[in-house]
Amino acid sequence: MALDPQTRTAERERIARLALDLVNARGTEISYAVAQAESGLSRSRFEYLFEDFDDLFDAIAQSWLAPHMAIMEEAVAADLPANRKMYEFFRRRFVISRERFREDPEFFTMICEMGAANFERVRSYVDLADHYLCEIIAEAKADGHFAGLSIDETLSLINQMVSPYTLPDALIYLGDKLTEEKLARIVDTIFAGLSAETGSAAQGVNAIRLAP
């Protein structure tokens, strides 16, 4: 018997959380067959919920990243100055990742490895984060920041500058060297170094010339 959309969504979420618990308990990525066997569902019902492993992984990724998605939406909608909005856009997601890492470094590392191994399945979340960040950049440009740079150029520069705070596995290597205070300084520097308020120097404090 077919499930109504709300029940089906809830059941997919339940299985995704179960799969995450199994990964944590076993210390390794689990297969489609293992997830089905541990789900308590018949094979036909499980296949109705998840077409294949990619579909199951999508549900796992959605469950893991749901708090990050909510934070991005809230940050973009917040009534804050562009610099503070951008800081919160990065800070609140970083705090979630840091808390997860501190709570269970081994499990966190395993999730990072799963994400790397299935990157094409999580690319849409990266693209969505870029989309939301572009909205913040557009607001900042409307306020006079980032003069002389396109939105895409600004996006690329910012992503490279804040990557230790957005790439989860950076926590594995840098740990407590990553702090909210340092992130705040980075965002302040972004707005100061690429701000129209600095006049002709706005275009990236571009005194360095590349060697031919």
Quick one: average pLDDT of 181-187? 96
By the 10 Å C-beta count (0-12 exposed, 13-18 middle, 19+ buried), 90 is classed as buried
Residues 87, 158 contacting (CB under 8 angstroms)? no
Element (H, E) at 141: helix 119-142
d(CA 180, CA 27): 30
* Cβ–Cβ < 8 Å for 75, 88: yes
Q: Quick one: pLDDT at residue 5?
A: 82
The secondary structure of residue 39, as a DSSP letter, is H
Coil vs helix vs strand at 104:
coil
Burial of 42 (0-12, 13-18, 19+ CB in 10 A): exposed
Question: Are residues 20 and 57 in contact, defined by beta-carbon separation less than 8 angstroms?
Answer: no
pLDDT tens digits along 61-96? 999 999 999 999 999 999 999 999 999 999 999 999
pLDDT per position as a tens digit, 143-169: 989 988 999 999 999 999 999 999 999
